[in-house]
Amino acid sequence: MDETIIKELISKSVSAKKHAYCKYSNFPVGAALLCEDGTIYTGCNIENVAYSSICAEQTAIAKAVSEGHTKFKAIAVSSNQTENVISPCGPCRQYLFGGDWDVIMTKPDMTYTMMKTSELLPLGFVQNPFLPTAKK
Amino acid sequence: MDETIIKELISKSVSAKKHAYCKYSNFPVGAALLCEDGTIYTGCNIENVAYSSICAEQTAIAKAVSEGHTKFKAIAVSSNQTENVISPCGPCRQYLFGGDWDVIMTKPDMTYTMMKTSELLPLGFVQNPFLPTAKK
Amino acid sequence: MDETIIKELISKSVSAKKHAYCKYSNFPVGAALLCEDGTIYTGCNIENVAYSSICAEQTAIAKAVSEGHTKFKAIAVSSNQTENVISPCGPCRQYLFGGDWDVIMTKPDMTYTMMKTSELLPLGFVQNPFLPTAKK
Amino acid sequence: MDETIIKELISKSVSAKKHAYCKYSNFPVGAALLCEDGTIYTGCNIENVAYSSICAEQTAIAKAVSEGHTKFKAIAVSSNQTENVISPCGPCRQYLFGGDWDVIMTKPDMTYTMMKTSELLPLGFVQNPFLPTAKK
Ligand SMILES: [Zn+2]
Ligand SMILES: [Zn+2]
Ligand SMILES: [Zn+2]
Ligand SMILES: [Zn+2]
């Protein structure tokens, strides 16, 4: 990964945070997803009036896939949390899993930790229970 | 709701279906969401390599909110299911809940049933457990 | 439904609330589920250190099914909310859907509203996208 | 962890599989959870008529917590998958996260891989967005 594109992704993930709809948690998160063809999609967390919410990472992926993109190279994630980099939650790690691409987890001071999607879900579950071929 | 805009929403929800990523279920769903200012966002269902998926309705809402829209007038939903109109799942009804706007549930022959978001979740839960004011 | 069993279910759902693990929301919920053979399973809401939680209704159903019960007659739900009866969230309505049995939604003063599972999810989605027969 | 208790947990997770309600995936999973006081709770996966399901690990935890247990020492997970050990999905890893205890991931031949809950969610998210203290 080129440092210039990493910086661009981080910067876009920071901007995406401003649309976060998180009046319950007051914990805005932004994400910027780089597709294989170079297109970048951004996302923010969207909290629901009830128990569930959509994470920034999921929003970015949903936007990309609904526009026809299914191969990704990297995603940057930003929050206002200063002590640790913001890392994807368990459900998001499952969404990101498959392929093996870069997750750039940042702090507000723009420092970051980069890990592969597979490293974030060690021994990740590849066999799909809903896959027709799993049903024999 | 004007019949012209209903037809446009239905038509866009049908088109949105083509990006559905549903290789496990082979059950594509499309949605078209009308924001209060007239902007339309589309979405499709996105299935995950493991247990969870994002519905077409959630994709459309995530796209709209991440672009700064939070007030909606109507959403059309389409699938290939011929016997009954396609209706939102329970989780989606919770996402759509709040405000009271129109859900246009269609069949492939373009016929539809229209209900209010509140009618789809009777006695819907308004009190939010995560709301600070609920914590006294 | 016999009034005696309704009262017993309500009473057990109130007791089940005391095990609620809800330090984030401080909104305890309890449920009591009546199986077809008369067995009663209770549940409470269990909040997670991160974004997701298991509702009282889901806990009760999970306990029952994991002990071999899959047919239900009624479920009572209790909370500390005084203005409205506590009603199942959208995701729970989807879990309860199938069959057509009674949901007893209560207030702390023991008054209640009773509705069928199908009434709580009008036009509920029966066709399962993961069902092999849906895949033609 | 004593090898005797590991074997008992594995054996109980295998037995728990028989109550799996998984007619859509035909992929039964069982779990056995050891609480700090020595009590063991079992669970199986429970698939829903629609998009969501409860995993075996979540079922076991929900049972334990709803009976008053909130501290755990180990969980064993079993499936019929022969090529790889069965590992928890992303959402379950988030549920298991917090504390630092053992996850015993097995194959049908009773061989297993054991990892800590923290190792399964590296850089796991500790800061809770719903935590009151996060709301300043
Ligand atoms: Zn997430
Ligand atoms: Zn849905
Ligand atoms: Zn619920
Ligand atoms: Zn799981």
How do residues A116-125 score in pLDDT, each as one tens digit?
Answer: 999 999 999 7
Q: Over chain A, what is the mean pLDDT?
A: 88
**Phi-psi category of residue C74: left, alpha or beta, with phi > 0 → left and psi -120 to 50 → alpha:** beta
Could you read off the pLDDT of D43-70 as tens digits, one per residue? Answer: 999 987 555 678 999 999 999 999 999 8
Q: Over chain C, what is the mean pLDDT?
A: 88
Interface test with D, best of B22, B51, B81 (most D CBs within 10 A): B51
**Which is it for strands D53-54 and D46-47: parallel, antiparallel or unpaired?**
antiparallel
pLDDT at B26: 84
Rounded Cα distance between D91 and C32, Å, is: 26
Q: What is the mean pLDDT of residues B123-127?
A: 73
**In this complex, do A132 and C130 lie within 8 Å of one another by their Cβ atoms?**
no
Q: Does some domain include residue A8?
A: yes
pLDDT over threshold 90, residue C134:
no
Q: What is the total residue count of chain B?
A: 136
Chains with 3 or more CB pairs under 8 A to chain C = A, B, D
Q: Does some domain include residue C59?
A: yes
Q: Does some domain include residue A131?
A: no
Question: Taking a C-beta distance cutoff of 8 angstroms, is the pair A1, A12 a contact?
Answer: no
Question: Taking a C-beta distance cutoff of 8 angstroms, is the pair C69, C59 a contact?
Answer: no
Residue B3 φ then ψ, to 5°:
-65, -30
Q: Does some domain include residue A133?
A: no
Check if A95 contacts D (Cβ < 8 Å). Answer: yes
Residues in CB range of A134: below 8 A, 6 or more apart: A127, A128, D25, D26, D27
Q: Does some domain include residue B53?
A: yes
Q: What percent of chain C has pLDDT over 70?
A: 88
Which chain D residues have a beta carbon less than 8 Å from that of B130?
Answer: 130
> What is the distance in A from the centroid of ligand 4 to the CA of D55?
4
Check if A122 contacts D (Cβ < 8 Å). Answer: yes
Residue type, A35: C
Q: Over chain D, what is the mean pLDDT?
A: 88
**In this complex, do A123 and D130 lie within 8 Å of one another by their Cβ atoms?**
no
Question: Which ligand has the nearest atom to the CA of B50?
Answer: 4
Beta-bridge partners for B35: B72
> What is the distance in A from the centroid of ligand 4 to the CA of C51?
14
> What is the distance in A from the centroid of ligand 4 to the CA of D17?
14
pTM of the entire predicted model? 0.87
Question: Which ligand has the nearest atom to the CA of D92?
Answer: 4
Which chain A residues have a beta carbon less than 8 Å from that of D56?
Answer: none
Question: Which ligand has the nearest atom to the CA of C43?
Answer: 3
Taking CA atoms, what residue in A is nearest to C87?
A50
**In this complex, do C90 and B85 lie within 8 Å of one another by their Cβ atoms?**
no
Q: Does some domain include residue B76?
A: yes
Which chain B residues have a beta carbon less than 8 Å from that of D132?
Answer: 132, 135
Rounded Cα distance between C29 and B35, Å, is: 35
Could you read off the pLDDT of A65-83 as tens digits, one per residue? Answer: 999 998 999 999 999 999 9
**In this complex, do B119 and C122 lie within 8 Å of one another by their Cβ atoms?**
yes
Q: What does the block give as tokens for B12?
A: 């866009």
**Which is it for strands A102-106 and D29-35: parallel, antiparallel or unpaired?**
unpaired
Q: D50: domain CATH number?
A: 3.40.140.10
**In this complex, do C51 and A135 lie within 8 Å of one another by their Cβ atoms?**
no
Q: What is the mean pLDDT of residues C104-124?
A: 96
| Among B2, D47, D56, A28, CA closest to C132 | D47
Identify the three-state secondary structure at position A120.
helix
pLDDT at C131: 36
The parent domain of residue D93 ranges over 3-120
> What is the distance in A from the centroid of ligand 3 to the CA of C95?
9
Identify the three-state secondary structure at position D91.
helix
Q: Does some domain include residue D131?
A: no
- Catalogue the long-range contacts made by C112-119 (C-beta closer than 8 Å, 24 or more residues apart): C112/C6, C112/C10, C112/C76, C112/C85, C113/B123, C113/C85, C114/C1, C114/C6, C115/B122, C115/B123, C117/C93, C119/B122
**Number of structural domains chain B divides into:** 1
Rounded Cα distance between A42 and A99, Å, is: 20
Q: Does some domain include residue B130?
A: no
Largest CA distance in chain B: 51
Check if B63 contacts A (Cβ < 8 Å). Answer: yes
Identify the three-state secondary structure at position D60.
helix
ipTM value, please give it.
Answer: 0.85
Residue D60 φ then ψ, to 5°:
-60, -45
Q: What is the mean pLDDT of residues C71-97?
A: 93
Check if C67 contacts D (Cβ < 8 Å). Answer: yes
